Chains A and B, each alone.
Chain A
Amino acid sequence: MSIDRMSAPELLGLNRFNVDEEEPHIIIDKEICRRCAEKPCLYVCPAVLYKLDKNGEMSFDYAGCLECGTCRVMCKNKGIIKWAYPRGTFGVSFRWG
């Protein structure tokens, strides 16, 4: 494979993740997100984990999270009701960083 434009899921597929199935480290409240006009999370998440589904509802999957914290600092309307680092040993593990 050579260099090409890659989608976020393709890029995330290269990383090593140990997903904490029991305890999500980020939780959003879709009701608050629905009322948020700007929705900056759609554009600022490097992993593109915030998306609008067919009905225009916010969908989010914490599994590919790079733990950068950008969504947290950008979320003005507090639709993100929990943002913590994953529990020890969980989440992304960068080999190169």
Chain B
Amino acid sequence: MRGLLSLRHSGSATDEALLAAAAQGDVRAFEALYDRYSRAVYSLALRMLRDAKAVEEVTQEVFLSVWRGGRDYDPRRGSARSWILALAHHKSVDAVRHQRLRAADRLSEEMTGETDVVGEAIRSVEGARVREALAALSEVQREAITLAYYQGYTQQEIADRLGLPLGTVKTRMRDGMLRLRILLGRSMQGEQT
């Protein structure tokens, strides 16, 4: 009764079709999406948050948003995959900023540069393709993007932390992202076939 769009072949259905079916209340389509993306979502949240309980909360929130908000997804604004991962990143960033507010002491330690946050962040990038692409950026671009994406800092926080004008950080971030787009572009297309 529940499977309004009965996706018997959910194994081969596109992410977009699964998302559309889940938005209509199809639990099996949702389950298939969970099985495809829970690992990526969980791993990204774990990379950013490091606290198992917070990571589980973020993962659960992401998938409940996928379930409830799937109909907000607009294919003209990117793939379902990037939509889900953007949701995961967004919620992880919210959680990491919240964590930092609560642990103001740890923040001040990080901000004074006693720990090598950037170096650690870059060293722990695991996917070979992503690591190579990041390695091909200039050091300052890599630093800006890593601090933003994996550490959840705002561009203003990054400017403060590095003692740079905000405009410089914006430029580095933007140039870096455009460069990554070219570097990762070919493999992104390859993956979608």
Partners in one complex: no
Measured CB to CB, the residues of B under 8 A from A are none
By a beta-carbon cutoff of 8 Å, the part of chain A in contact with chain B is none
